[in-house]
Chain A
Amino acid sequence: EPEVTQTPSHQVTQMGQEVILRCVPISNHLYFYWYRQILGQKVEFLVSFYNNEISEKSEIFDDQFSVERPDGSNFTLKIRSTKLEDSAMYFCASSPEGFISGNTIYFGEGSWLTVV
């Protein structure tokens, strides 16, 4: 079964450093997402991406965050200058066309980011 794959699985970075989290969505999917889960808390929406542009972003997704689909297969989340409170599990997800056709959102295994 096709999967969303994420790398790295775990990254430790120093505060103020830039981090890039990488994702390979399922190949025929059109919608891409990043979600965040701070330890012990619920999964929060960060950003959705469709047709090579951001379709929606949450208030968490401020100017330090950016997303890119550089080569038609990868989907990256960049955090420009990490803060301690960015420590979380980051999930990439993808979906074929949205919900109307009965589709769902498929999640990757996540990337643990620890900022020290």
Chain B
Amino acid sequence: AQSVTQPDIHITVSEGASLELRCNYSYGATPYLFWYVQSPGQGLQLLLKYFSGDTLVQGIKGFEAEFKRSQSSFNLRKPSVHWSDAAEYFCAQGDSSYKLIFGSGTRLLVRP
């Protein structure tokens, strides 16, 4: 069965510092990969997605992610974190039946 791994449960960064959240997916010839963000008590907002083509995808709020097939990874990055970025981040993979498989999430804390 497909699975998505987010190895970091929590990450703390200082405001203004760069950020990288890790995500590994299990398999898929053409993986459909997504990053969602969830603020406390809120729903899931799509940050970006990768289906094919350019392996570096740009998303909202200044986020980007890079697809690396050789590493089965789809890491999320942001060059300069803002306090408002503190939230839970979920990586997800779409499967052949058009549903999403989510990772366990990474909670981002931003230090002033």
Where the two chains meet, the residues of A that have a C-beta atom closer than 8 Å to any C-beta of B are 31, 33, 35, 41-45, 48, 50, 55-56, 91, 95, 98-99, 102, 104-110
A contact face: mostly helix, strand, loop, or mixed = strand
Q: How far is the CA of A108 from the CA of B101 in the complex (A)?
A: 17
Q: A104-B46, A109-B43, A110-B43 are in contact. Are A95 and B102 (CB under 8 A)?
A: no
Q: How far is the CA of A33 from the CA of B101 in the complex (A)?
A: 12
- In the complex, chain B residues 62-95 whose Cβ is within 8 Å of any chain A Cβ: 90, 92, 94
Show 14 A/B contacts (Cβ-Cβ < 8 Å), sorted by A.
A31-B98, A33-B99, A42-B103, A43-B44, A43-B92, A55-B98, A56-B97, A99-B51, A99-B94, A105-B94, A106-B46, A107-B43, A107-B44, A110-B42
Kindly report which residue of chain B lies nearest to residue A46, judged by CB atoms.
Answer: B99
Q: Is B25 an interface residue (CB 8 A)?
A: no
Q: Is the CB of A56 within 8 A of B102?
A: no
B contact face: mostly helix, strand, loop, or mixed = strand
Contact of B97 among A48, A104, A105 (CB under 8 A): A48
Where the two chains meet, the residues of B that have a C-beta atom closer than 8 Å to any C-beta of A are 32, 34, 36, 42-46, 49, 51, 90, 92, 94, 97-105
Least CB distance from B35 to A in Å reads: 11
Least CB distance from B6 to A in Å reads: 9
Q: How far is the CA of A48 from the CA of B95 in the complex (A)?
A: 12
Contact of A104 among B42, B49, B90, B101 (CB under 8 A): B49
Contact of A41 among B43, B100, B104 (CB under 8 A): B104
Q: Which residues of B contact A48 (CB under 8 A)?
A: 97-99
Q: Is the CB of A42 within 8 A of B105?
A: yes
Q: How far is the CA of A98 from the CA of B99 in the complex (A)?
A: 8
Q: Is the CB of B100 within 8 A of A105?
A: yes
Q: How far is the CA of A47 from the CA of B105 in the complex (A)?
A: 21
Q: How far is the CA of A96 from the CA of B31 in the complex (A)?
A: 18
Q: How far is the CA of A35 from the CA of B100 in the complex (A)?
A: 9
Kindly report which residue of chain B lies nearest to residue A45, judged by CB atoms.
Answer: B99
